[in-house]
Amino acid sequence: MTEKISRIAAEREDLAARLEGTEAVKEFLISKVRDAETGLAKKDSESLAIIQQSASDQEVISFLDGRVQGLESVYHDCSIAKKEVEEKMKKMQIQSSKKIKVIEDMLQFERQQLADQEKEWKMTKKVLVKEVKHCRAQIATLQAERESFYHQNERLKQALLTLNGGGFFAGNSSNKDKNYT
């Protein structure tokens, strides 16, 4: 019986040791399960946050895609408008250069005509100056001739008066003097 008791005691100690080991394993596994549940809850909340962030990012991406498409459309329209404006500008430059050429030719023609007119005017002025000098010389000559005729006429009157003794010309000589002066 002692053997039985020792065997039972040994079995009991084995069972107690196994029970303690099982308890320790149970506690260890419970703590592991709790840690796993905490980690899982944390991962679930992280996953939910990631899903929410992904949905938010998807909304932003959709908005930005719409905005990019709108801007690309505006860019395309602006490119077309730019090409049209550049074509118009080239046409206007060509027309302007042609107009400038015509205006330059007209200006050159007008300058040439002005120069020709100035030459003609100077030549006419020289001719007129010569003509005026000639006329003045003729006037001076004619005035001298008139003076000479006047004096000659006066002497002839005096001579007639002295020959006639103061007749008909004596009364009229004063009227004729007034006409020559």
CB-based contact 145:180 (threshold 8 Å): no
- DSSP one-letter string for 110-140: HHHHHHHHHHHHHHHHHHHHHHHHHHHHHHH
CB-based contact 180:150 (threshold 8 Å): yes
**Cα–Cα distance for residue pair 23/16, rounded to 1 Å:** 10
> What value does the CA radius of gyration of the chain take, rounded to a whole number of Å?
69
User: pLDDT band at residue 166, thresholds of 50, 70 and 90?
Assistant: low
What is the pTM assigned to this prediction? Answer: 0.40
Structure-model confidence comparison of residues 63 and 5, the more confident one:
63
User: Which structure tokens are listed for 103?
Assistant: 């205006």
**Cβ neighbours of residue 177 closer than 8 Å, sequence gap 6 or more:** 154
Length of the chain equals 181
Is the pLDDT at 179 greater than 70? The verdict is: no
Per-residue pLDDT tens over the stretch 5-40: 888 888 888 888 888 888 888 888 899 999 999 998
For residue 84, how far is the Cα from the chain centroid? 18
User: Which structure tokens are listed for 50?
Assistant: 């990631």
Q: Where do the domains of the chain lie?
A: 2-180
**Cα–Cα distance for residue pair 1/9, rounded to 1 Å:** 11
Per-residue pLDDT tens over the stretch 90-124: 999 999 999 999 999 999 999 999 999 999 999 99
Q: Up-side HSE of residue 85: CA atoms within 13 Å toward CB?
A: 6
CB-based contact 173:157 (threshold 8 Å): yes
**Cα–Cα distance for residue pair 108/115, rounded to 1 Å:** 10
Contacts 24+ apart (CB under 8 A), 142-148: 146/180
